[in-house]
Chain A
């Protein structure tokens, strides 16, 4: 895995400018000089710089932002977006996987079930959560609680942030593939509204295992991919060092996924990335979830399931009888779609 520290160079000039502002502020304070004009100017310059940097971010830099050590993780959203969280443990079969959280909570006054990959905020927590890589138990726990939510028609809100499902001997012995497959199938037919939000890493099957819903939202700098850039690089170039190149060809950014019609909405992040203002990131996420939830709550079951099926059914790009049949959606055709593409 690449070292986050060295890959965040694009943040350098911003941090430098911030330091200058702080210096100037403390200087102004200690000397009681009126430097408000200059400080405001620098702040303005800082915002412009951030805007410039964000506009030029490469897919690999977005991956770095998605993995930023200070980026808000699930536990931040749990605290800031929800009230009265009540965690529910265990898969009633093997264990309780800390890498996936499940529990009831209140979301703007409404009872919901919250499911989220847990990464932890410090080394101790990260180890306890296995860095967000879930075992089969995690997926089975999620399904068990989601079925409970279905019974009481509680909306399900999932928060996706995983480098991938854990590749280990025990995970294979206990059916990692089966657990994920079962979740995907069942989520496609749970009779309750589901909104999924990718908050950081959307690592392949491990993400999709809690990622099928009526709406799929994605934070601006999150990524969602069939394979990690490092894994892709290892396969193609026999080294993980080409990960930046792999990140570019995999088309894994929120913008790409929105173009493919897989993601319904990109949730804006604070300038410079979610870690610059975690509170704002959480508020944006909550607003987006609320907006989409309001649209689907109250939809008749049959219609809800029909629409959820259609959502995944139309994904894919291929030619048929010489004509392009392609993934397209209300978002409009993405760059992947051939000119003149028709919607199924």
Chain B
């Protein structure tokens, strides 16, 4: 679901400028000083565009240095449907693994955020658009189960524009039920789930784990929604309103607690963790 709409949207690579000191913002297309972008944690100083970043960069930005220990590793997607269309799923997986160095579209583990023990995870929009198949569903679920067992907060950063991964068909769809059911149990056990939504989070991911945070934050201007803008446009045969399905739009309609720029995210999450202490016993 909702796949078609993301192809056009900001998957262009950062264009290197001669000398390596300057780069071009993929959004406003202005030349910006690379150091300034880095200081803002990969945000354009001219237009506040938040570049898509890897899960490793997320960990570095949000988790206390040296505390992250990856869990649920060694899971590998297979091709249960033998899905061969224009490109075979196997080949698409292999290419994504090569591009990102990841096993699949998300990483989970334990760590600390401003001294608070947490289970932390993030999906990577560069890996088949961060889409959820069996492996992402399983890793997410194991992470939630671990947070339930350890009685610590769960923080997940989604960059899952691909929604439920089409190549694994209905098995992907059912990961929505699996992840949501795990969050339901975690909630019953008094857990705290902080969701940080980043560009893009759509379709089956938005309609399951990404929409179920106790506290939900989003990066500025991230594309967040159920149906892809292209699909909606084709259905209603009319232009979409300005800013449609962006973070600010969701905030206005009451679906986000906050829109938080990248430089402030860690501090805001830490404050939430500070306010909401999980009771030690059930």
Interface membership of A250, Cβ < 8 A: yes
Cα A260 to Cα B173 with chains together (Å): 12
Cα A327 to Cα B184 with chains together (Å): 21
Interface membership of A243, Cβ < 8 A: no
B109 shortest CB reach to chain A, Å: 17
Interface centre among A181, A182, A262 (most CB of B within 10 A): A181
CB proximity to B under 8 Å, residues A209-238: 209, 211-212, 224-227, 231-232, 234-237
Q: Collect the chain A residues with CB atoms within 8 Å of residue B253's CB.
A: 173-175
Q: Collect the chain B residues with CB atoms within 8 Å of residue A257's CB.
A: 170
Cα A246 to Cα B75 with chains together (Å): 27
Q: Are B181 and A309 in contact (CB under 8 A)?
A: yes
Q: Are B173 and A181 in contact (CB under 8 A)?
A: no
Q: Which of A182, A232, A308, A315 contacts B166 (CB 8 A)?
A: A232
Q: Quick one: closest B residue to A188, CB to CB?
A: B181
Q: Collect the chain A residues with CB atoms within 8 Å of residue B185's CB.
A: 189, 309
CB proximity to A under 8 Å, residues B20-73: none
Cα A169 to Cα B245 with chains together (Å): 9
Interface membership of A165, Cβ < 8 A: yes
Cα A171 to Cα B254 with chains together (Å): 14
- Which one of A48-56, A271-279, A316-324 is at the interface? A316-324
Q: Are A249 and B184 in contact (CB under 8 A)?
A: no
Q: Collect the chain B residues with CB atoms within 8 Å of residue A224's CB.
A: 170, 173
Q: Collect the chain A residues with CB atoms within 8 Å of residue B78's CB.
A: 317-319, 324, 338
Cα A236 to Cα B52 with chains together (Å): 25
Q: Are B226 and A235 in contact (CB under 8 A)?
A: no
Q: Which of A169, A313, A316 contacts B232 (CB 8 A)?
A: A169
Interface membership of B215, Cβ < 8 A: no
Q: Are B138 and A205 in contact (CB under 8 A)?
A: no
- Binary A-proximity of B240-282 (CB < 8 A = 1, otherwise 0): 1100110001000111000000000000000000000000000
Q: Which of A178, A205, A321 contacts B74 (CB 8 A)?
A: A321
Q: Collect the chain A residues with CB atoms within 8 Å of residue B175's CB.
A: 315-316
A311 shortest CB reach to chain B, Å: 9
A169 shortest CB reach to chain B, Å: 7
Q: Are B226 and A177 in contact (CB under 8 A)?
A: yes
Q: Are B1 and A184 in contact (CB under 8 A)?
A: no
Q: Collect the chain B residues with CB atoms within 8 Å of residue A296's CB.
A: none
Q: Which of A185, A249, A324 contacts B180 (CB 8 A)?
A: A185
Cα A125 to Cα B255 with chains together (Å): 32
Interface membership of A29, Cβ < 8 A: no
Q: Quick one: closest B residue to A225, CB to CB?
A: B170
CB proximity to B under 8 Å, residues A152-188: 164-169, 171-178, 180-182, 184-186, 188
Interface centre among B4, B74, B176 (most CB of A within 10 A): B176
B35 shortest CB reach to chain A, Å: 38
CB proximity to A under 8 Å, residues B169-213: 169-178, 180-185, 187-188, 203-204, 206-212
Q: Are A176 and B227 in contact (CB under 8 A)?
A: yes
Q: Are A315 and B80 in contact (CB under 8 A)?
A: no
Interface membership of A204, Cβ < 8 A: yes
Q: Which of A184, A208, A318 contacts B138 (CB 8 A)?
A: A318
Cα A262 to Cα B210 with chains together (Å): 23
Q: Collect the chain A residues with CB atoms within 8 Å of residue B134's CB.
A: 315-318, 327
Q: Collect the chain A residues with CB atoms within 8 Å of residue B125's CB.
A: none
Known A249-B81, A318-B76; contact A260-B207, beta-carbon cutoff 8 A: no
Q: Collect the chain A residues with CB atoms within 8 Å of residue B203's CB.
A: 205
Q: Which of A167, A237, A336 contacts B171 (CB 8 A)?
A: A336
Cα A1 to Cα B236 with chains together (Å): 15
Cα A205 to Cα B205 with chains together (Å): 10
Q: Which of B85, B169, B227, B244 contacts A252 (CB 8 A)?
A: B169
CB proximity to B under 8 Å, residues A187-205: 188-189, 204-205
A228 shortest CB reach to chain B, Å: 9
Interface membership of A337, Cβ < 8 A: yes
B97 shortest CB reach to chain A, Å: 13
Q: Collect the chain A residues with CB atoms within 8 Å of residue B208's CB.
A: 180-181, 184, 205
Interface membership of B135, Cβ < 8 A: yes
Q: Which of A181, A189, A225, A315 contacts B207 (CB 8 A)?
A: A181
Q: Are A177 and B74 in contact (CB under 8 A)?
A: no
Q: Collect the chain B residues with CB atoms within 8 Å of residue A88's CB.
A: none
Interface membership of A312, Cβ < 8 A: yes
Interface membership of A43, Cβ < 8 A: no
Q: Collect the chain A residues with CB atoms within 8 Å of residue B228's CB.
A: 167
Q: Are A260 and B171 in contact (CB under 8 A)?
A: yes
Cα A212 to Cα B4 with chains together (Å): 27
Q: Are A188 and B180 in contact (CB under 8 A)?
A: yes
Q: Collect the chain B residues with CB atoms within 8 Å of residue A338's CB.
A: 78
Interface membership of A251, Cβ < 8 A: yes
Cα A316 to Cα B80 with chains together (Å): 9
Q: Are B80 and A317 in contact (CB under 8 A)?
A: yes
A344 shortest CB reach to chain B, Å: 9
Q: Are B177 and A235 in contact (CB under 8 A)?
A: no
Give 19 new A-B contacts, CB below 8 A, not counting A231-B231, A234-B4.
A167-B226, A168-B235, A181-B180, A182-B212, A184-B180, A188-B180, A204-B164, A205-B173, A208-B177, A212-B177, A224-B173, A249-B84, A309-B181, A312-B174, A316-B134, A316-B135, A316-B137, A316-B138, A320-B76
Q: Which 4 A-B pairs have the closest CB atoms?
A: A167-B227, A316-B134, A336-B80, A188-B181
13 residue pairs A–B, Cβ–Cβ below 8 Å: A166-B235, A169-B244, A184-B208, A204-B164, A205-B207, A226-B168, A231-B231, A252-B170, A256-B170, A260-B80, A260-B171, A312-B174, A324-B78
